[in-house]
């Protein structure tokens, strides 16, 4: 051990121990965990304060011609909800929610069998390869994923080339909801899989074997054994994937060619093109509220369902 800590390193360690003697962290007693958390609390407070400030900005009038803040008013929210501009914002919100929900559903449906294979396969090489493949899209960044799909889906892209081999002429998937959907699936499916895995890992393989011995078909085993026991993981996957997709920017901007703007694109334009922080604040908060509702609702329903089931069981017993 001594060889690993040479000269300078030892001096540094001595310094730290000396500093510890002077500062005596033990003296803090019950405050110790709070002192340890202080830097993190300060950092996250930047976001908390920012969100509160958004609320403050969103309830003010704004003169976009003079670029001046007015008094307290509901102007920004009226812009979001009332004609002539309201329908556009609501349509954008609806499109964002519908596509995000579709992507989430697709990601969970594909993630379930994949998680199952990773957990049940006896081959370590396959498991590690799949895990590596799942983590890479998550770390390569939104813009690189979008770039990749642009190369695949564009007019003269790879998908068009492959289709051409089969004699199909198509104009590419850019600018269509399907193109945006495929692009968003690339990161959503791995994320859903990784979130489903911990819950699925706790399932005793003997349960499936028992079901099979008793004559259950694979579909029946999935419906009555695997899926019910994986619910906590499925709910976690739905929540996280949905939250990620609701804020999507690059895929609709590049793969959708701007024809299918998401809330994030519109918020970006409100700032970049109109320099209007006030309207942007209101729309950001609206998205925050809607996404919280969409995410919290299934969670509450799930908890309610669990409680109901427990009560039914108690009554049966």
Contacts (CB under 8 A) with other proteins, residues 55-84: 57
234 makes contact with other proteins (CB under 8 A): no
Indicate the burial class of 194 (C-beta count within 10 angstroms; 0-12, 13-18, 19 or more): buried
41 makes contact with other proteins (CB under 8 A): yes
Cβ neighbours for 90, distance < 8 A, ≥ 6 positions apart: 80, 81
Count of C-beta atoms within a 10 Å radius of residue 157:
17
- Judged by CB under 8 A, the residue of 11, 50, 70, 299 near other proteins is 50
Using CB under 8 A as the binding rule, the residues of this chain from 194 to 233 that contact other proteins are: 194, 197-198, 201, 218
Q: How far is the CB of 2 from other proteins (least distance, A)?
A: 12
> Per-residue string for binding with other proteins, 276-295, x by CB under 8 A?
-x--xx--xx-xx--xx---
| In contact, 180 and 252? CB cutoff 8 Å | yes
Q: Which is nearer to other proteins, 74 or 243 (CB)?
A: 243
Cβ neighbours for 7, distance < 8 A, ≥ 6 positions apart: none
| In contact, 151 and 158? CB cutoff 8 Å | yes
299 makes contact with other proteins (CB under 8 A): no
134 makes contact with other proteins (CB under 8 A): yes
Task: From 160, 164, 139, select the one nearest 149 (Cα to Cα).
Answer: 160
In eight-state DSSP terms, residue 175 is T
Q: Which is nearer to other proteins, 39 or 84 (CB)?
A: 39
- Judged by CB under 8 A, the residue of 156, 165, 169, 206 near other proteins is 156
In eight-state DSSP terms, residue 61 is E
**Binders of other proteins: how many residues, by CB under 8 A?**
101
148 makes contact with other proteins (CB under 8 A): yes
- Judged by CB under 8 A, the residue of 8, 43, 293, 300 near other proteins is 43
CA 2 to chain centre: 46
Q: How far is the CB of 50 from other proteins (least distance, A)?
A: 3
Using CB under 8 A as the binding rule, the residues of this chain from 179 to 198 that contact other proteins are: 182, 185-186, 189-190, 193-194, 197-198
- Judged by CB under 8 A, the residue of 93, 99, 108, 152 near other proteins is 152
Q: Which is nearer to other proteins, 84 or 167 (CB)?
A: 167
- Judged by CB under 8 A, the residue of 268, 269, 298, 302 near other proteins is 268
- Judged by CB under 8 A, the residue of 135, 210, 223, 297 near other proteins is 135
Q: Which is nearer to other proteins, 102 or 186 (CB)?
A: 186
The tokens describing 270, both together, are 């409100």
Task: Tell me which stretch binds other proteins (CB under 8 A): 74-82, 226-234, 238-246, 302-310.
Answer: 238-246
98 makes contact with other proteins (CB under 8 A): no
- Cα–Cα distance, 114 to 195 (Å, whole number): 12
The tokens describing 212, both together, are 């099979």
- Cα distances (Å, whole numbers) of residue 317 to 66, 304, 306, 313: 72, 20, 17, 6
The tokens describing 160, both together, are 């068009």
Omega into 17 within 30° of 0, i.e. cis? no
Helix (H, G, I), strand (E, B) or coil at 299: helix
| In contact, 232 and 219? CB cutoff 8 Å | no
Query: Phi, psi (5° rounding) for residue 71?
Result: -80, -175
Q: How far is the CB of 231 from other proteins (least distance, A)?
A: 19
Q: How far is the CB of 61 from other proteins (least distance, A)?
A: 16
């Amino acid at each position: 051990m001594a060889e690993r800590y040479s000269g300078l390193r030892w001096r540094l360690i001595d310094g730290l121990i000396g500093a510890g003697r002077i500062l005596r962290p033990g003296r803090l007693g019950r405050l110790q965990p709070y002192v340890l958390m202080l830097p993190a609390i300060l950092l996250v407070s930047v976001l908390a304060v920012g969100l509160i400030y958004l609320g403050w900005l969103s309830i003010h009038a704004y003169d976009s011609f003079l670029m001046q803040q007015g008094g307290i008013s509901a102007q920004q929210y009226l812009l979001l909800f009332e004609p002539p501009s309201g329908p556009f914002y609501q349509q954008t919100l609806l499109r964002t929610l519908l596509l995000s929900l579709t992507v989430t559903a697709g990601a969970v449906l594909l993630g379930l069998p994949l998680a199952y294979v990773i957990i049940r396969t006896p081959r370590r090489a396959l498991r590690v390869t799949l895990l590596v493949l799942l983590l890479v899209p998550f770390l390569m960044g939104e813009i690189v994923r979008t770039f990749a799909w642009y190369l695949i889906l564009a007019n003269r892209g790879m998908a068009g080339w492959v289709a051409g081999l089969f004699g199909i002429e198509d104009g590419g998937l850019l600018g269509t909801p399907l193109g945006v959907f495929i692009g968003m699936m690339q990161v959503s499916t791995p994320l859903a899989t990784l979130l489903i895995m911990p819950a699925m890992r706790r399932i005793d393989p003997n349960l499936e074997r028992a079901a099979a011995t008793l004559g259950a078909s694979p579909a029946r085993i999935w419906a009555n054994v695997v899926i019910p026991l994986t619910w906590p993981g499925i709910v976690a996957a739905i929540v996280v994937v949905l939250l990620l997709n609701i804020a999507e920017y690059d895929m609709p901007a590049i793969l959708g060619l701007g024809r299918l703007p998401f809330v994030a694109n519109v918020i970006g334009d409100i700032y970049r093109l109109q320099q209007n922080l006030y309207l942007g604040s209101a729309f950001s908060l609206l998205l925050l509220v809607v996404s919280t509702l969409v995410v919290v609702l299934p969670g509450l329903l799930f908890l309610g369902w669990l409680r109901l089931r427990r009560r039914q069981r108690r009554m049966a017993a």
